[in-house]
Amino acid sequence: MTNSLTDLIALLDLETIELNIFRGQSRDIGNPQVFGGQVLGQALTAASRTIEARVVHSLHAYFLRRGDVDAPIVYEVDRARDGGSFSVRRVVAIQHGRPIFNMAASFQAVEEGLEHQATMPDVPGPEDLLDISQIVEKMPDSIPVRVRRFLSYERPFQVRPVRWERFMASKDSEPVRHVWFKAGEPLPDDPHLHQRLLAYMSDYELLGTATLPHGLEIFEQKLQMASLDHAMWFHRPCRVDEWLLFSYDSPSASGARGLSRGQLFNEAGVLVASTAQEGLIRVRGN
């Protein structure tokens, strides 16, 4: 297993401080603050540690403050409800004595029911697409140094945009984006681990879809962006060490906020999860 993937798994495996209280560390991946997906994944780990024989089916979270990558994060779990089929947990992430994030997650005992799903978009498969690291090598002079640092670090996941030229372009375009993801190495048969890693990756490039119609690159100095909230629904089991298509769209931007949605499919076309996020999108000087 690659060093970056091993490190990510260890990062999401929190230290137990006492009953319902856990502690996690952070990694600098080139952002000025803690990556939102890290906090999502760690909070889900904390909630899952208080659950038995049930799996998460939804989570709803708010990002309250920027996370400090140089300080540990403490996660406090409130066991809000344990019913006959469902359990609900509330999680607060704390740094420097202040909450930076809160989340509610619902867990369900596995059962059968009605089945239908959205159709997977008709896009090229991942086999013949460029990885994000290859895209950086292909256009080194057109990518700012600070952006190259973010895109070039050793990643735990392979990331292959369906249309790489639009992935980095600043031309006005439709607010739709398709990206294939897969863990760099095989992972253990632990469904909870795969869900935590999926939550971690669900924050990647989601909000940036809302900038596409406006000819703005997410790394532009004049652009201030921050995740405000994040919701996720886990429909069916999946493996993140197999290719997953993240299909993003943005139905609205207004009031210095943008809304983006995502549908996550496996290669067989099975819808495994959905996600949505609203974030701050402020153009400085406007």
Give the C-alpha distances (Å, rounded to integers) separating 235 from 132, 255, 256, 266, 280: 28, 32, 31, 12, 28
Main-chain dihedrals φ then ψ at residue 46, nearest 5 degrees: -60, -45
- Catalytic residue (one of 48, 227, 247, 250): 227
- The secondary structure element, H or E, covering residue 101 is strand 98-108
**42 part of the active site:** no
- Catalytic residue (one of 87, 95, 260, 277): 277
**203 part of the active site:** yes
The amino acid occupying position 1 is M
Query: Cα separation of 76 and 45, whole Å?
Result: 11
Helix (H, G, I), strand (E, B) or coil at 213: helix
Would you give the distance in Å from CA 149 to the centre of its chain? 19
Between 191-201 and 36-48, two packed helices, what is the crossing angle to 10 degrees? 150
**263 part of the active site:** no
Main-chain dihedrals φ then ψ at residue 219, nearest 5 degrees: -100, 5
Q: Identify whether the C-beta of residue 196 lies closer than 8 Å to the C-beta of residue 202.
A: no
What the block records as the tokens of 86 is 């469902």
Strand order in the sheet with 271-283: 15-18, 21-24, 73-82, 86-95, 98-108, 55-63, 223-234, 271-283, 257-266, 244-254, 176-183, 157-161
- Catalytic residue (one of 106, 203, 241, 274): 203
Q: How far apart are the first and last CA of the chain?
A: 47
Supply the residues annotated as catalytic. Answer: 203, 227, 277
